[in-house]
Amino acid sequence: MTDDDFNFDYSRRARMGLDESVFCDGKSVDQIAAICTDAKKVDAGLLLTRLEASVFARLPEDLRDLMDYHALSRTAFFGPVRAMAAIGKVVIVAAGTSDTPVAYEAARTLRHAGVEAALIADVGVAGLWRLTSRIDDIRRYPVIIAVAGMDAALASVLGGLVSGAMICVPTSVGYGAADHGRTALSAMLASCASGLTVCNIDNGYGAACAALRILNTMGSLPKD
């Protein structure tokens, strides 16, 4: 590979309040290794997303030793991680256990930025009591990320019960008519609950970044 394969944006946080991350899907092992090596030279911490376990295993050992890898979310922290700056600001609510890979991608993205998010899983509307039994806990948070596949009914139900900023993530979970998350996406976009922000299918990273933008405007995160 050549130096033209990547041009890392180290000033992104100063410009827009978000660190650049590395989307690993579609990148070769050599490209990912080169990016990490470049970051290591300047002691920059990186968030790597969509890093498959098989690809992680093929990275040079000296780079893997500097990574905190989370297989379920397919994310890795490379190098230094930001100190905790915000707790009790964001909750991630996942409809089912099958939605937790996307939920954990959001949680890991937030943690890399210095935000500790709470995670409440398996509270989908098929057993509505599971959600209502946790609703008071959820209402404590100013930012809520709702993660759901299939019919994505969680977004509309939860959106009608809370006043915080709601960021919704449709997942590709479900059979046949779920259409790889397109049904969930349409349901969230067409929700009768007003003011929902909807991200792309399976995009836990994008939902976390939306939450970070909100926290930045609230003054909850340091600007450096």
Task: Provide the mean pLDDT of the chain.
Answer: 92
Q: What angle separates helix 204-218 from helix 100-112, to the nearest 10 degrees?
A: 40
Residue 75 has pLDDT above 60, yes or no: yes
- Express each pLDDT in 109-129 by its tens digit: 999 999 999 999 999 998 999
Regarding pTM above 0.95, the answer is no
Residue 144: how many other CB atoms lie within 10 Å: 24
- Please choose, from the candidates 12, 9, 11, the residue with its C-alpha nearest in 3D space to the C-alpha of residue 209: 12
- Express each pLDDT in 145-201 by its tens digit: 999 999 999 999 999 999 999 999 999 999 999 999 999 999 999 999 999 999 999
Which residue is associated with the tokens 């230094």?
A: 80
